[in-house]
A and B are shown apart, each in its own frame.
Chain A
Amino acid sequence: MARRKTAESGDGDAQQPSTPDVKPTAALNVQREVIKVNNANQSELKHTLDDTLKRFLGGPDQFKTIHRHTDVRLALGWSCVFIASGTALYGYQTQFEKSKFVVWTGVILYVLLTSIQTLYAYFIEGRTVYVGKRKTFTKRIETERITIESHAHPSSPSSPPKYELSVLYIRSTNNGKSLLHRGKIQDSLGFNAFYDEDGVLDQVVFEEWVRGLVIKAAGDAE
Chain B
Amino acid sequence: MFAEELKTFRRLGFRHVLLQVLNFASVITSGLMIWKGLGLITNTESPIVVVLSGSMEPAFYRGDLLFLTNPPHTSYKTGDITVYQIPGVDIPIVHRVIEAHDLAKDPSSNNTLLHTNRQLLLTKGDNNYADDIQLYQGLDWLEREHIVGKVQGYLPYIGYVTIAMNDFPQLKYALLGILGFLALLQRE
Contact (Cβ within 8 A) B19 A73 = yes
Question: Which residues of chain A come closer than 8 Å to B4, judged between CB atoms?
Answer: 36
**One of A47, A55, A81 near B25 (C-beta < 8 A):** A81
Mark contacts of B8-40 with chain A using CB atoms, 8 A cut-off: 1 yes-contact digit, 0 otherwise.
Answer: 100110010011001001100110110011011
B131 within 8 Å of A by Cβ? no
Known: A36-B4, A44-B187. A77 touches B37 (CB 8 A): no
A221 within 8 Å of B by Cβ? no
Interface residues of A in 107-127 (CB under 8 A from B): 107, 110-111, 114
How far is B187's CA from A29's CA once the two chains are assembled, in angstroms? 27
Q: A: which residues have CB within 8 A of B?
A: 33, 36, 43-44, 47, 51, 54-55, 67, 70-71, 73-74, 77-78, 80-81, 84-85, 87-88, 91, 96, 100, 103-104, 106-107, 110-111, 114
Contact (Cβ within 8 A) A67 B40 = no
Contact (Cβ within 8 A) A47 B32 = no
Known: A44-B187, A77-B22. A84 touches B29 (CB 8 A): yes
Q: B: which residues have CB within 8 A of A?
A: 4, 7-8, 11-12, 15, 18-19, 22, 25-26, 29-30, 32-33, 36-37, 39-40, 44-45, 187-188
Question: Which residues of chain B come closer than 8 Å to A85, judged between CB atoms?
Answer: 29, 32
**One of B15, B25, B44 near A70 (C-beta < 8 A):** B15
Chain A CB within 10 A, most for which of B7, B29, B37: B29
Give the distance to chain B from A134, nearest Cβ to Cβ, in Å: 20
Q: Helix, strand, loop or mixed for chain B's interface?
A: helix
How far is B36's CA from A206's CA once the two chains are assembled, in angstroms? 48
Question: Which residues of chain A come closer than 8 Å to B32, judged between CB atoms?
Answer: 84-85, 88
Contact (Cβ within 8 A) B12 A51 = yes
11 extra interface residue pairs, beta carbon distance < 8 Å, beyond A81-B26, A88-B36, A103-B36: A33-B11, A51-B11, A84-B32, A84-B33, A87-B36, A88-B33, A91-B36, A96-B45, A103-B40, A107-B33, A110-B33
Question: Which residues of chain A come closer than 8 Å to B22, judged between CB atoms?
Answer: 73-74, 77-78, 81
- Who on chain A is nearest to B145 by CB? A97
What are 14 A-B contacts defined by CB distance under 8 Å? A33-B11, A43-B187, A43-B188, A47-B187, A51-B12, A55-B12, A74-B22, A85-B29, A87-B33, A88-B33, A96-B39, A107-B33, A110-B33, A111-B33
- Who on chain A is nearest to B29 by CB? A84
Contact (Cβ within 8 A) B26 A106 = no
Give the distance to chain A from B13, nearest Cβ to Cβ, in Å: 9
- Who on chain A is nearest to B18 by CB? A74
Question: Which residues of chain A come closer than 8 Å to B26, judged between CB atoms?
Answer: 77, 80-81
Contact (Cβ within 8 A) A74 B40 = no
Contact (Cβ within 8 A) A74 B15 = yes
Give the distance to chain A from B186, nearest Cβ to Cβ, in Å: 9
Give the distance to chain B from A206, nearest Cβ to Cβ, in Å: 15
Question: Which residues of chain A come closer than 8 Å to B45, judged between CB atoms?
Answer: 96
Question: Which residues of chain B come closer than 8 Å to A96, judged between CB atoms?
Answer: 39, 44-45
Contact (Cβ within 8 A) B29 A70 = no
Give the distance to chain B from A201, nearest Cβ to Cβ, in Å: 12
Contact (Cβ within 8 A) B187 A74 = no
Chain B CB within 10 A, most for which of A73, A78, A84, A88: A84
Contact (Cβ within 8 A) B29 A67 = no
